[in-house]
């Protein structure tokens, strides 16, 4: 039996360096590794965006940008099942069916939902304020994404473990009632899902406005690097290598001799922050020049992006239709 590995990506637009290091690179690596012994499914979780994001044009644009990002960084749509969630309507049908074997109590325990309630409690608001059913049902939709394709392994960051466990529980209850139909998935923590610091040293995140864009104009990227906040030690002074510049550098520079040179320069003194920032910007340029060009070309050719998504949907829908018809028969719809 081949191993099936599946991951969904919410359409969040152009990636910054934090997404790149924490999510995109490890995902591409994992796909490469599994391609040898199994099948990979990578999809844009655009239904999942709807509970939060109500700007249609923004969602559409973000979707194109995420598709172009993965293609620009080398995802091969011939080898990987690469598709848009909304092009596979069987997924929502499965969501609807699974909701009948999902205890409400399980959903009450969902981290995302609980977090919103906790925020409301702190603010003295109604507990369900701002909670729509899309947020509440989010884990069932995600279970359908996973169970649709008999997924064995779901690579996730720590925040998503609970969702995979829910999918397992939901599959278990379904099978208990209707027989062995759904495959129980397992999560796999993405090994090198490093959290990289942003310009101000906090976690790099759009909401902190401290990101380094990777697919924008190279000058903007360089400028951002130059704005990284450091202490005011002089070039000759020894410095703590656990600073933002080095943390980023060791993630992006593949030449270990260069990484060691920066490390030594900081620890022994002799390397100033300004020069270190230039080294970081140079590495980023080297690594990103090609993908950036590719990204621009792809974004200028939406028709091609549409075709890639359609091709992906066509491949996986065959499988989805088979699965859903089995499920429909089991529960008595057909």
* Chosen residue from 8, 13, 15, 18 binding ligand TRP by CB under 6 A: 8
In the chain the first and final C-alpha atoms are separated, in Å, by 29
**313 near ligand TRP, judged by CB under 6 A:** no
Is residue 148 a contact point for ligand TRP (CB under 6 A)? no
Three-state DSSP at 179 gives coil
**Measured between alpha carbons, how far is residue 291 from residues 126, 298, 304 in Å?**
47, 10, 17
Binding to ligand TRP in span 154-183, by CB under 6 A: 154, 160, 163
| 3-state SS class at 39 | strand
Which of 39, 90, 145, 253 forms a contact with ligand TRP (CB under 6 A)?
145
Answer for which of 5, 7, 153, 210 binds ligand TRP (CB under 6 A) is 7
Cα-only R_g, the chain: 22
Query: Least distance to ligand TRP from the beta carbon of 10, Å?
Result: 5
Cβ 163 to ligand TRP shortest distance, Å: 6
Among 5, 17, 21, 45, binds ligand TRP (CB under 6 A): 45
What is the x/- site pattern for ligand TRP, positions 79-108, by CB under 6 A? ------------------------------
| Min dist. Cβ of residue 185 to ligand TRP (A) | 9
* DSSP code string of 259-320: HHHHHHHHHHS---HHHHHHHHHHHHHHHHHHHHHHHHHHHT-HHHHHHHHHHHHHHHHHHH
> From the list 49, 146, 309, 316, which residue makes contact with ligand TRP (rule: CB under 6 A)?
146
Report the distance separating Cα 149 and Cα 88, nearest Å. Answer: 11
Min dist CB 327 to ligand TRP, Å, is: 18
What's the CA gap between 58 and 248, in Å, rounded? 29
Size of the site for ligand TRP (CB under 6 A): 12
Q: How many CB atoms lie within 10 A of CB 78?
A: 8
248 binds ligand TRP (CB under 6 A): no
Ranges within 104-143 binding ligand TRP (CB under 6 A): 142
Q: Which is nearer to ligand TRP, 145 or 251 (CB)?
A: 145
The DSSP 8-state label assigned to residue 4 in this structure reads E
Q: Which is nearer to ligand TRP, 59 or 142 (by Cβ)?
A: 142
User: For 79-217, where are the alpha helices, taking DSSP H only?
Assistant: 90-98, 104-108, 111-122, 133-148, 161-178
Residue 10 binding ligand TRP, by CB under 6 A: yes
Is 214:295 a contact under the CB 8 Å cutoff? no
Interaction site with ligand TRP (CB under 6 A): 6-8, 10, 45, 48, 142, 145-146, 154, 160, 163
């Amino acid at each position: 039996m081949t191993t099936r590995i599946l991951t969904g990506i919410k359409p969040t637009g152009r990636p910054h360096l934090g997404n790149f290091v924490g999510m995109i690179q490890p995902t591409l690596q994992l796909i490469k590794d599994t391609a040898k012994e199994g099948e990979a499914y990578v999809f844009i979780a655009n239904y999942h965006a709807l509970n939060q994001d109500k700007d249609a044009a923004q969602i559409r644009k973000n979707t194109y940008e995420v598709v172009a990002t993965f293609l620009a960084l080398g995802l091969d749509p011939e080898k990987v099942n690469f598709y848009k969630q909304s092009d596979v309507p069987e997924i929502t049908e499965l969501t609807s069916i699974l909701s009948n074997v999902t205890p409400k109590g399980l959903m009450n325990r969902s981290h995302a939902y609980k977090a919103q309630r906790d925020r409301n409690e702190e603010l003295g608001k109604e507990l369900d304020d701002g909670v729509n059913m899309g947020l509440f049902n989010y884990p069932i939709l995600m279970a359908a994404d996973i169970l649709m394709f008999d997924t064995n392994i779901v690579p996730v960051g720590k925040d998503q473990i609970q969702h995979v466990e829910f999918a397992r529980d939901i599959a278990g209850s379904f099978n208990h009632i209707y027989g062995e139909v759904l495959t129980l998935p397992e999560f796999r923590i993405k090994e090198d899902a490093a959290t990289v610091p942003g310009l101000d040293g906090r976690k790099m995140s759009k909401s902190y406005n401290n990101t380094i864009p990777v697919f924008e104009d190279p000058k903007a990227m360089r400028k951002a690097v130059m704005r990284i906040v450091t202490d005011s030690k002089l070039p000759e002074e020894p410095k703590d290598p656990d600073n933002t510049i080095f943390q980023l550098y060791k993630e992006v520079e593949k030449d270990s001799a260069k990484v060691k040179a920066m490390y030594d320069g900081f620890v022994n003194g002799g390397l100033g922050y300004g020069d270190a920032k230039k080294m970081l910007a140079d590495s980023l340029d080297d690594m990103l020049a090609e993908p950036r060009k590719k990204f621009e070309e792809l974004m200028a050719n939406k028709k091609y992006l549409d075709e890639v998504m359609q091709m992906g949907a066509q491949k996986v829908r065959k499988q989805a239709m088979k699965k859903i018809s089995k499920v429909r028969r089991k529960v008595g719809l057909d």
